């Protein structure tokens, strides 16, 4: 919101009526300072319709997601999402993920975690970590903590879309897309 307001204010000062672009809104809602993560977001947005839809859904929400690369994720997984805080107008989440594997693997994992962010965005009453825990007890996959079937399916769908777009599987090898 602040970025959008600043852009509109800047346009007013410059005498132009240029609208705020979807890219600016997406960058406002999904943030990072790490150039590797920016590259994964760009790859996901360009190569996966599902990933792009996640960015759009978050841009239309009150959720703002910060993404960081870490050496180790405390849960033992390759990625994890945390509820940070909320204000009257926004809810802040943090995704921590490792920089391991092929780019397709990393974008797929990021998409998986962004699906969790969308699940939280779609639950406006979730305003803190306890609310996240309650939500996942109710809607999550009970085989693991804070997991959902939708996030697993989303990660796989993104992997498939990227593989079709690039001709690569997650392991960096050529994908066989037709008959031999």
In a domain, 19, yes or no: no
- CA 117 to mean position of chain CA atoms: 7
More confident residue, 174 or 62: 62
Average pLDDT, the chain: 82
- Enumerate residues 6+ apart whose C-beta is below 8 A from 178: none
Residue 4 lies in a domain: no
Residue 17, pLDDT > 80, answer no
pLDDT value for 7: 38
Structural domain boundaries, residue 149: 31-166
CB 107 within 8 A of CB 43: yes
pLDDT at position 178 is 35
3-state helix, strand, coil in the chain (%, to 5): 50, 15, 35
Cα angle, residue 32 at apex, residues 28 and 35 outer, rounded to 5°: 125
How confident is the model at residue 24, as a pLDDT? 73
Residues of the chain with pLDDT > 90: what percent? 63
Confirm whether 56 is domain-assigned: yes
Three-state secondary-structure class, residue 145: coil
Q: Tell me if 26 is assigned to some domain.
A: no
pTM over 0.85: no
pLDDT tens, position by position, 96-135:
999 999 999 999 999 999 999 999 999 999 999 999 988 8
Q: Say if 108 falls within a structural domain.
A: yes
The total number of structural domains in the chain stands at: 1
Assess if residue 51 is contained within a domain.
yes
Confidence band (pLDDT; 50, 70, 90) for 28?
A: confident
75 occurs within a structural domain: yes
In the predicted model, is pLDDT for residue 14 greater than 70? no
Strand order in the sheet with 30-31: 30-31, 63-69, 91-97, 79-86
**174 falls within a domain:** no
Start-end of H helices in 140-176: 149-166
């Amino acid at each position: 919101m602040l970025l959008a307001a600043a852009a509109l204010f800047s346009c007013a000062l410059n005498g132009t009526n240029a609208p705020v672009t979807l890219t600016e809104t997406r960058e406002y809602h999904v943030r990072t300072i790490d150039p590797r993560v920016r590259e994964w977001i760009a790859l996901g947005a360009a190569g996966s319709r599902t990933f792009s839809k996640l960015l759009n859904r978050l841009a239309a929400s009150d959720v703002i997601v910060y993404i960081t690369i870490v050496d180790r994720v405390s849960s033992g997984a390759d990625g994890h999402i945390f509820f940070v805080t909320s204000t009257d107008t926004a809810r802040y989440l943090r995704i921590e993920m490792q920089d391991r594997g092929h780019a397709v693997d990393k974008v797929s994992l990021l998409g998986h975690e962004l699906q969790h962010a969308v699940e939280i965005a779609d639950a406006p009453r979730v305003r803190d970590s306890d609310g996240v825990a309650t939500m996942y007890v109710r809607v999550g996959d009970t085989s693991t903590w804070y997991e959902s079937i939708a996030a697993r399916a989303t990660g796989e769908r993104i992997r498939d879309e990227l593989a079709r777009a690039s001709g690569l599987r997650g392991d960096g090898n050529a994908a066989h897309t037709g008959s031999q």
